């Protein structure tokens, strides 16, 4: 039986390691979210408020994503002004 090229084997092991890391991360994330949800439930936090708080925390931890979303909202606002004739098209 022929063995795979060493580079192919290394890439395969790297891919397996990355997949394992992602599974472990997802598991940790699931545990933390479950703990946060349990705490929110115990204190009577409405589901919408819990989801909004989680989203806010995620955006706070990801400034680049928050900036990207703000940029998209700004451009959508500009486009809306143009479509309604309140801003000239260049």
52-53-56 Cα angle (round to 5): 85
Asked whether the whole model's pTM tops 0.75, one would answer: no
**Could you give the number of structural domains in the chain?**
2
72 lies in which domain range? Answer: 46-90
Rounded alpha-carbon distances, angstroms, from residue 57 to 50, 54, 65, 72: 11, 5, 12, 20
Query: Tell me, what's the pLDDT at 3?
Result: 62
* Same structural domain, 51 and 35: no
Task: Give the residues of the chain that fall short of pLDDT 50.
Answer: none
* Same structural domain, 72 and 60: yes
Query: Tell me, what's the pLDDT at 82?
Result: 94
d(CA 68, CA 66): 5
Query: Tell me, what's the pLDDT at 13?
Result: 81
Query: Tell me, what's the pLDDT at 14?
Result: 84
Query: Tell me, what's the pLDDT at 6?
Result: 63
């Amino acid at each position: 039986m022929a063995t795979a090229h060493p580079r192919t084997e290394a890439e395969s092991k790297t891919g397996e390691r990355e997949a394992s890391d992602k599974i472990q991360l997802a598991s940790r994330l699931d545990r933390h979210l479950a703990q946060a949800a349990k705490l929110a439930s115990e204190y009577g936090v409405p589901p919408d408020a819990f989801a909004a708080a989680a989203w806010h925390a995620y955006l706070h931890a990801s400034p680049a994503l928050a900036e990207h979303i703000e940029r998209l909202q700004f451009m959508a606002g500009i486009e809306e002004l143009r479509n309604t004739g309140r801003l000239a098209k260049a």
